[in-house]
Structures are given as structure tokens and as C-alpha cells.
Chains A and B, each alone.
Chain A
């Protein structure tokens, strides 16, 4: 009896001793990370999950070393609804201000969904001096503001793709289509929001028209549109080889269904958000074979040739029981937490200016490739994850797999045209 009592006390003591460092860290005052974004939309919801996953991983290892103290991260989120149709930008800004004032976050990650809200929200970020690692809104306008007034706007960073890198990714893919299949006639369709408008206009004026493509038409759809038959009829009658698409609204799935049902002999290549995730195959009744879709940041899709992206994707899937469905947001959101952790540890304090300076010096290998910021506080993207952060294009195969086809460094196979789309040469 005495022996067993002694053993029990010993076990308790040892357990407490072993657990001491991490429990000490978790007992310390947490460092709050604010996540103000459109939580009612898939990209926002999954980005928050990715942030929570990174925070749990870091806390499980004891937390963040601030000077000589280890402190845990804590996530506070708010739905600013800026992605919802009809929600005015000032309402979204109220949400950002609310979380800053009420939760006192050391930094914000993910941030606004719409570029309109990001640009307007930069003044709030500057006013309260809270470093922000944005992962969804894509306008390069934020970089221009930072370069013009770095002292004021230096707190804003973007870890995800911006429209310029996005256009480069698209341009590279279109060049591949032209070289391989001879396509030179394109019809553009995009959602009428800043990033998609900017992308389509940039692609039309700075790529297609300058590289020998014939632009047959360009239709823009307000958020919420759910009938694309007119544009598809025009594209079909004018003989388009490629349908260039840019949509992040759930209703854009209708576009693909109509493309199939109307038998439009043109390859869809661009971004249609409902097509990005692995569940799309089942959702769209196994009828999306041949469709080419972009993934803004690897990690949102597993890559055979870049192990960290696959590890992150698989961990996310194991944790939440379902793979990432959005093509934009979760991987950079996860990465942002680690960027912040390392910056705080390098800065040795929670002073926002010190954190900003430390974030600027980031140079690490992450789930999307190598992470480095340029002078506009934009992560540098390219076509090789060993050198830069990387996005990719994949194609749905006829047996329901997502096969990365661009860039070459990540390509898992060749682009295959659907049977009803014929090559030009």
C-alpha cells in the first residue's frame, strides 16, 4: 500500500516536471493574433482553420519566445463580411477596428477579402500600428501605397499572390497552351470585383493583345450572377479556343455546368473557385474532366515535387477530416503564423515597429516555397518553390484527380484536351 502510494506520488511529480516548460508557457499571457476576414466564405473559413492549426502546433511546442519568456499564441476572429455582395466597405472596416480595439492583437493575419476593403483598411492598420500579414486580398495598390509612404503603411504585408504575380502565372500557362495546342483566340469572363477585373484587364491588355492572341470578347459579371449562357454562346459562335475565367463566387460553378451542357468547344483555363478543391469532382457529378484551374499558392494543393506543400495539405486533411477546398488563402495563412512567430523571436519583443523590421528580413522555406518580401511588402512569387513562393495550374483528369500541369518544376503530367476541344495546329 505504502509502495503504491509512493509510486503514485512519484509518477505525479514526474508528470508535472516533464510538463512544466509547456504548461509554464501556456500559463503566460497569450499573444493575440486577430483574424478579421469574411468567415462566411470558404477562403476565410479555411484560412482561419489553417491559422488555428499553426497556432496549435506552435503552442504544443511551448509557444513563442519573447525575449526570455515563452508565451502561447491565441486566435481571435471576427467576420467582417466584406466578400458578401452589397456589404459596404465601411462596415468591413468597423469589424477590423473592433477586433483591434477589443482584443488588442499583436498582429493581424488573413485580413480583408476584397481589395477595396484592404486599401481602405490600410489607414486603420496604420493608425493603430498593428502588423498585418494579409493572405486573400490581391490588389497591388497596397504595395504602391507602402512604397509611396513606407513609414505610415509599413505594417501591411501580403503573403499570398498579388494580381501581378497572378497574371504572370496565368501568362505562363496561356503561353504553354498556345505553344502546345496552337490556341490563339480567347474569350474573357470575370467577376466584377477589383482583383478579377484587374486580372482580366491586365491579361487582355498586357498579355493577350501583345502576344498575338485574338480577344473575341470580354464579359464581366456582378457578384451573385448565376447565368453565363450569353457569354458562352458568344464564345462558341466566335470560335474561341480558350475561355479565360476569373471568379471567386460560389455561383461560378454554374459556369462550368453550362460549359458542359452547351458543349462549348473551348478549354476553360483560369480560376473558378468551386473547382479548386478535391470535393469538386463529386459536387459536379464527375463532369469536370479537362478543366484547368489555378491554385494561387501551393500547399492549398499537394505537390508530388515539393514535400512541405504535401505535408501541410495532409496535416490539414488529417486534422479537419477534409482536404482544403479553396485555391487561395489557407497555405499563406498557415505560413503567416510561422512568419510572425519567427519575427517576434528575432525582434525579442512585441513592439510593432520591431516586429515589422523583423518580418521584412524574413527568408525561410515554407509550405508555399521560399518566403521573402520585396519593398512593397509582397512575398516574391515565381515558378520554382526552391527559390520563391509558387502558385500552380492543375487539370482535372477524367478519373477525378487534380494533376499539376504548370509550372514545369511542379508538373505531374501533360495538359490533355477534353474530347470536344480540338487543337488548332
Chain B
């Protein structure tokens, strides 16, 4: 039982990390809290479903196309909406939330209501770890989650574009003076964030069904993890994912499953009361001290 809780808690934590990485990346670089994030996640899910079931593409190709299209949607959202209001935090939140709502409600309007929207698993089998049986899709999620986190670290530390990302994140004016086009980098960061949301959707959604409502849950989970971990801090996001993920699983196993959804909200409240900048939100902490 304990082993099972530890294993499924680990999977749950990786799912949270996977969901939050893209949101965190976008905020860390462009400073935009992308409240359309959950909608982009669902957009990728439905795109994959349509490309696979209606257009008839092979699933891997459908998945790749949906990641690409979601990334383009993110870039377009920045170029045509967010660029004009960049720096006005409240306007950014309202605009992204509005775009997210529009996307989700559009799917409802188009009739994407029901239980038949699901994506196939990549590997259809299960493995025994000790006495615990776990399906390969969850193992796949863990693998992809770790790979995505490592890739993000490698990309931001060892590629020219990634270094530009970090430059803008650290000090946009200085980066500008060194010839970094901040608007272009911000566009890329929103686009990358959207692509991360899409990848998360494609590996996580086969566990269940694609529903419009799930978009709101994804946004809340991503927000909770990023607020607890410290907005903009990748390490913080990973640690917060494990804290919240394990807290949820242990709550469901040893207390009441009824309280699981309260866990992220309690975590947000607790961190806001104790350390408003989040566990590793160093830049914001510095601002607060000043």
C-alpha cells in the first residue's frame, strides 16, 4: 500500500510538473502570466483527436502537428494581442484569460461535448513494480516529464536562443543593449510554453477523456505549482510539484479523497502567508525586500 502510494504519488507529481513547466517558462521569460494555458492544453488535445480521428493521420504525426499548431497559436496570441499590452499586468491577465475562455467555449459551441474524445495510449501494457501494477502510459509520462525538464535546462543553458531567454529573464534592458530582440524572444517564450502545454496534453490525456472543463483544472494546477515553487523558477516548479503531488496522493490514501482538490489551494494560501515570493522566487523576493 505504501509502495503504491509512493509510486502513484511520484507519477502524480511528474504530471503536475509537466503541466506547470510551460506556464512557468512563459512567465519566467516574458513576464506574461498566460491564463490561456489550460485552453492551449485542451486545444492540443482536441487538435490531436481531430487530426487522428477525422483527418486520419497516423497518431504520431497527428501529435506532432498538434504540438506545432499549438505553438503557432501561442506565438500568434503574443504577436497580435499581448505585444500591445505588454507590461500592463492586469491587461495581460484579462486578455489571456479572455482568449482562454473563448477557445474553451468555442469547443463547446462546436459540439465537443461528450465522452468519446480520448487519445490512444502510446504503449498499451503494464508493469509490476514490487506488488504494484502500473500502466506503461504512466511510465511514459514520467520519462517524458524528466526529459522535458532536462531539455529545458539544457536549452536555457547551452543554446544561443536559450541564453537569450535567460538574458531577457534576468534584465530585459541590458539584454536589449546587447542586441537581443526582446519582443521576438518573448514571442518564442509564449510559443514554447504553448508547445510544452501541448506535449503535456498529448502524454497525459490518454489516461482519461478530453473535456473542456479540464482546461480550467490544468490552469489552476499550473498556477498552484508555480506560485508555491516561485514564479519563474524551474527548480521551484519541480520541487513544488512533488510537494503538492505527494500531498494529494497521501491525502487521498490516508485521509479523504474528498480533500484532494483542496490541497493545491491550501498550498497557495500557506505559501502566500509564509513566503509570498514562493519557495524559489528569488527575483520577486528581492523586489519585496526593496
**Chain A interface (Cβ < 8 Å from any Cβ of B):** 40-42, 45, 84-86, 192, 219-222, 224-231, 233-234, 237, 250-251, 253-254, 257-258, 261-263, 273-274, 277, 279-280, 282-285, 325
Partner of B213, one of A220, A224, A277: A224
The yes or no answer to B212 lying at the interface (CB within 8 A) is yes
Q: Does B4 contact A (CB under 8 A)?
A: yes
A213 to B94, CA, bound (A): 53
Quick check: A250 and B209 within 8 Å, CB to CB?
yes
- In the complex, the answer to whether A262 meets B133 with C-beta atoms within 8 Å is yes
User: B115, A274: Cβ atoms under 8 Å?
Assistant: yes
A229 to B216, CA, bound (A): 22
B210–chain A nearest beta-carbon distance, Å: 8
Q: Would you list the 5 A-B pairs with minimal beta carbon distance, nearest first?
A: A261-B135, A274-B115, A254-B208, A230-B252, A219-B257
23 contacts between A and B (CB under 8 A): A40-B212, A220-B257, A221-B258, A224-B261, A226-B207, A228-B257, A229-B8, A229-B249, A230-B5, A230-B8, A233-B4, A237-B1, A250-B115, A251-B209, A253-B118, A257-B207, A261-B133, A261-B134, A263-B126, A263-B133, A277-B115, A279-B115, A284-B118
A24 CA to B275 CA, complexed, in Å: 73
- In the complex, B102 has a CB within 8 A of chain A: no
**Which residues of B does A touch, CB under 8 Å?**
1, 4-5, 8, 12, 108, 113-118, 120-121, 124, 126, 132-135, 137-138, 207-209, 211-214, 216-217, 248-249, 252-253, 256-258, 260-261
In the complex, the answer to whether A219 meets B252 with C-beta atoms within 8 Å is: yes
Decide: B1 and A234 in contact? CB cutoff 8 A.
Answer: yes
Q: Report Cα–Cα, A41/B209, bound state, in Å.
A: 14
Nearest CB to that of A44 among chain B residues? B113
Shortest distance between the CB of B189 and any CB in chain A (Å):
28
B113 and A253 contact, CB distance less than 8 A: no
Across-interface contacts of A261 in B (CB, < 8 A): 126, 133-135, 137-138
For B4, list chain A residues within 8 Å (CB).
Answer: 229, 233
Say yes or no: A231 contacts B214, CB within 8 Å.
Answer: no
Distance between Cα atoms of A40 and B101 in the complex (Å): 14
Q: How far is the CA of A225 from the CA of B217 in the complex (A)?
A: 9
Q: Quick check: B257 and A230 within 8 Å, CB to CB?
A: yes
Which residues of the other chain, A, contact B256 by a CB distance below 8 angstroms? 219-220
A250 to B116, CA, bound (A): 9
Residues on the B chain within 8 Å of A258, using CB: 135, 207
Give CA–CA (A7, B121) in the complex, Å: 66
Give the chain A neighbours of B120 by CB distance below 8 A: 285
